[in-house]
Amino acid sequence: MWRLRSRTAAAAAVIAASAASLADVAYADSGYSFFRRSSPPPPPPAAAAAAAASEDSGTEVAVEVDSSGFDPESLERAARLLRKLNSSKYAKQLFELMRMQEKTRLAELEAEKVQYIIQQHLRDIERQQKEGEKFRESLQQQAQAEAQKLRYDDELARKRMQTEREAQRRQDAELVKMQEAAALRKEEVRRTTEKKILEKMLEDEKEKALLKKQNIQANAEAKGEALTREAKALEDYNRKMLLERINGDKEKWIAAINTTFSHIEGGFRMLLTDRSKLLMGVGGVTALAAGIYTTREGAKVTWGYINRILGQPSLIRESSMPKFPLSRFKALKSTSASLSGGAGFENVILHPSLKRRIEHLARATANTKSHDAPFRNMLFYGPPGTGKTLVAREMARKSGLDYAMMTGGDVAPLGSEAVTKIHQIFDWAKKSRKGMLLFIDEADAFLCERNSTHMSEAQRSALNALLFRTGDQSRDIVLVLATNRPSDLDAAITDRIDEVIEFPLPGEEERFQLLRLYLNHYMLKEDGKNSFWDSLLKKQRQKIQVKDISDDLLREAARKINGFSGREIAKLMASVQAAVYGRPDCVLDPQLLMEVVEYKVAEHHQRIKLASETST
């Protein structure tokens, strides 16, 4: 039995060795071994069989191996042992052990394969990291080169702009100097001419005055002598009559004074002798004084109450409504007269499209009031002097509403009282039976963004009060805001605006119409409404004579004053009027008009340049 077991073990060893030797052969359907075994090769099958035989017989067996390492006898012995194993009762356990060893070997091979794949992935990751680092370094170098190039380009552009700016500044300075020199030369020529004319006129006036003086002196001497004699005779007669009148009046006054003092003496004696009459007299005088004092103080209190309840708020600078109810009839009469005149927007010079829109809004506002619908709030914005205030006033008149005008700059000085004044304005505006157009000029002064650091707490409270009163659409008040900086307004204010209208600077055609309008207003308008007493008491104004001022000349002047607002054009014509009054003959000719225009254009450009330098 023991021998059978030892033979079985030897056979199993031989079979395992054979299988191990055969496992080194790669078949098409078997897995490929990626790693070479580092362990020494198993012993050959012949050696294992010989070892088993020696254990069985107890003798040593010499194994012959040919030169190629193949022993046929060992293979035969292995075959005999396999046949014995098949007939043995331990064959099943042996083959199960062999299968387990094969599975273990395959698992080791799979583990080695996975380890190789992991190492391959690690090498790939390390290679990718190195490539990423190289790419990152190249990107950094490229970004540094681009940044250096941008800095260099920026520096070159800045230097180029600085050079151009310096050249432009020098060119502007030279231009200003040339303009100043030309203006000085023109002024010098004009002064020389005026000086010669004045000298000649003075000489003529001196000669006329000398002759007139001599004639007047002769006439005065003759008249003086006659008047002296006549006055002396009249003075003697008047002295006699005055003495007689004084003597008669003296007797009358003395008698009247005596009578008056006698009556006063009797009254005092009666009061001093009768105590009841004395008390009544003192009480009457006291009651009269108390009544006068009470009436005066009561009138003050009553008038203050009426002024506070019914009067116009202090923030309102101009209004079509009367300040107090007693003057309402007169105000209504004047307002109706202005509306019935039918002027409308004829005296307002605007771009045709803008004028049509304003007229449309005026008609819509009038129809809104007649249909008792809520009004629409408006925002007028644009450069100063473009007619925003004038359009608001004319829109109120055209639509048949009362109007009130205030400025935002008056709200800030009120401090904590601004909230009360804002509520007073809206309460007062609701008393208008026709509806009120409330125009707020310079609205950005106190309706700016609430996040602004320059806004005080009082201004923020005033803004909140206005937002509270304009939260819903009103059927009594049309709110019209005017500003030069619409971007500074608070978002809640712009949310309450229904119509936004821009007032740009006038174009060439509008400038021509404005020049013609103000020329008629300042130079050609005749003041024929003076009464007889005004003509006697006031100094007569010298009439201006306009020579050779044609429409073509006005159009040329309109082209030169490009960029002027309506207010600047009005000031230009006022300057022309002053220049005409500076002449002795008060004559307006094309030369004088164009001189003033060129001077005002240079002044306009200088003002713009100073404003740009201040802003930079």
Q: Any idea what the CATH number is for the domain that residue 483 is in?
A: 3.40.50.300
Residue 404's closest CA among 375, 365, 382, 430?
430
| Confidence band, pLDDT 50/70/90 cuts, at residue 291 | confident
Q: Which of 475, 473, 479, 467 is nearest to 377 (CA)?
A: 479
| Four-CA torsion 232, 233, 236, 237, nearest 10 degrees | -140
Strand segments (E) across 397-458? 402-407, 436-441
| Span of 25-29, 295-299, 584-588, 611-615 with lowest mean pLDDT | 25-29
Q: Does residue 466 sit in the same domain as residue 378?
A: yes
* The last residue of a domain, from among 45, 64, 89: 89
pLDDT at 446: 83
Judge if 522 and 594 occupy the same domain: yes
Which of these ranges, 100-104, 186-190, 278-282, 555-559, has the smallest mean pLDDT?
278-282
Name the region of 312 (left: φ>0; alpha: ψ -120 to 50; beta: rest).
Answer: beta
323 Cβ partners below 8 Å, 6+ apart?
A: 311, 312
Is residue 230 in some structural domain? no
Distance CA 303, CA 300 (A): 5
- Looking at the fold, whether 426 and 497 belong to one and the same domain comes out as yes
Query: Rounded to 10 degrees, what is the CA torsion of 551, 557, 563, 568?
Result: -90
Q: Is the pLDDT of residue 73 over 80?
A: yes
Question: How far apart are the C-alpha atoms of 133 and 202, rounded to whole Å?
Answer: 100
> Residue 595 has which token pair?
């001189």
Domain boundary among 504, 523, 542: 504
444: confidence class by pLDDT, cuts 50, 70, 90: confident
Q: Which of 486, 504, 522 is the endpoint of a domain?
A: 504
Question: Is residue 91 scored above 80 in pLDDT?
Answer: no
Same domain, 364 and 397: yes
Residues 407 and 556 in one domain: no
Residues 494 and 529 in one domain: no
> Would residue 175 count as lying in a domain?
no
Between the alpha carbon of residue 403 and those of residues 328, 362, 397, 429, 442, the distances in Å are 14, 13, 8, 9, 17
The pLDDT of residue 271:
66
Report the C-alpha gap between 474 and 468 in whole angstroms.
Answer: 12
Domain containing 12: what range?
2-89
Q: What is the mean pLDDT of the chain?
A: 77
- Residue 311 falls inside a structural domain: no
Amino acid identity for residue 461 in this structure: S
Report the alpha-carbon distance of residue 452 to residue 157 in Å, rounded: 35
| Residue 463 domain-assigned (yes or no) | yes
Give a yes or no: residue 570 inside a domain.
Answer: yes
Q: Residues 573-586: what's their mean pLDDT?
A: 86
- Same domain as 396, residue 329: yes
Question: How confident is residue 86, by pLDDT bands cut at 50, 70 and 90?
Answer: confident
Assigned domain for 455 exists: yes
- For residues 167 and 165, give the distance between their C-alpha atoms in angstroms, rounded to a whole number: 5
**468 and 341 both lie in a single domain:** yes
**Does 117 have pLDDT greater than 90?**
yes
Looking at the predicted structure, is the pLDDT value of residue 344 above 70? no
Closest C-alpha among 18, 5, 7 to residue 75: 18
Distance linking the first and last C-alpha atoms of the chain: 118
User: Mean of the pLDDT values across residues 410-435?
Assistant: 87
d(CA 248, CA 242): 10
496 and 525 together in one domain: no
- Specify whether 474 is located in the same domain as 521: no
> Which of 5-9, 258-262, 463-467, 560-564 shows the lowest mean pLDDT across its residues?
5-9
- Residues in the chain, overall count: 616
Percent pLDDT > 70 in the chain is: 77
* The pLDDT value given to residue 111: 92
Give the pair of three-digit tokens for residue 68: 């190629």
Q: Is 203 part of a structural domain of the chain?
A: no
Residue 30: pLDDT above 60? no
What are the structure tokens assigned to 142, written together? 């490229």
pLDDT surpasses 50 at 92: yes
Q: Are residues 462 and 539 located together in one domain of the fold?
A: no
pTM of the predicted model, to two decimals?
Answer: 0.49
CA distance 318 to 331: 13
* Same domain (yes/no): 542, 496: no
213 assigned to some structural domain: no
In sequence order, the β-bridge partners of residue 402 are 436
Q: State how many domains the chain has.
A: 3
Backbone angles phi, psi at 209, to 5 degrees: -65, -35
Phi/psi for 362 (5° steps) reads -65, -45
